[in-house]
Amino acid sequence: VMEAMASGVPVVATDVGGVSELVIDGETGFLVPSQTPELLAEKISILMDDEELRKTMGRKGLERIKSQFAFETMVRKTEDLYRRLFSN
């Protein structure tokens, strides 16, 4: 999922595991409940039919990965966590 978003590709995924921490439903892609293949197909079809939506969601996904999950950001968040843990 992260690789798709980092490539500017909108994501259609089931809402399992940590996927909802990455994908913002309706903004960077679509999340559907697991075991709903009809809804999954519907969301894929929506993106296939709407080039502008694909581009917008893809761009927003890329921006999200760059701002929230870039290496430097993850290092900073980890450092902040350790500082909070050791300051108590």
Per-residue exposure over 11-32, b if at least 16 CB sit within 10 Å of its own CB, e if not: bbbbeeeeeeebbbeeebbbbb
- Tens digit of each residue's pLDDT (9 = 90 or more) over 28-78: 999 999 999 999 999 999 999 999 999 999 999 999 999 988 888 889 989
Residue 70 is predicted with a pLDDT of 85
Phi and psi at residue 29, in whole multiples of 5°?
160, -160
Q: List all residues 6 or more positions away from 43 whose beta carbon is below 8 Å from its beta carbon.
A: 12, 30, 32
What's 31's domain CATH number?
A: 3.40.50.2000
Q: Could you tell me the pLDDT band of residue 88, with boundaries at 50, 70 and 90?
A: confident
Number of domains in the chain: 1
Instruction: Give pLDDT, residue 71.
Output: 87
Structural domain that includes position 66: 2-87
- pLDDT of 86 above 90: yes
d(CA 86, CA 88): 5
13-41: average pLDDT:
97
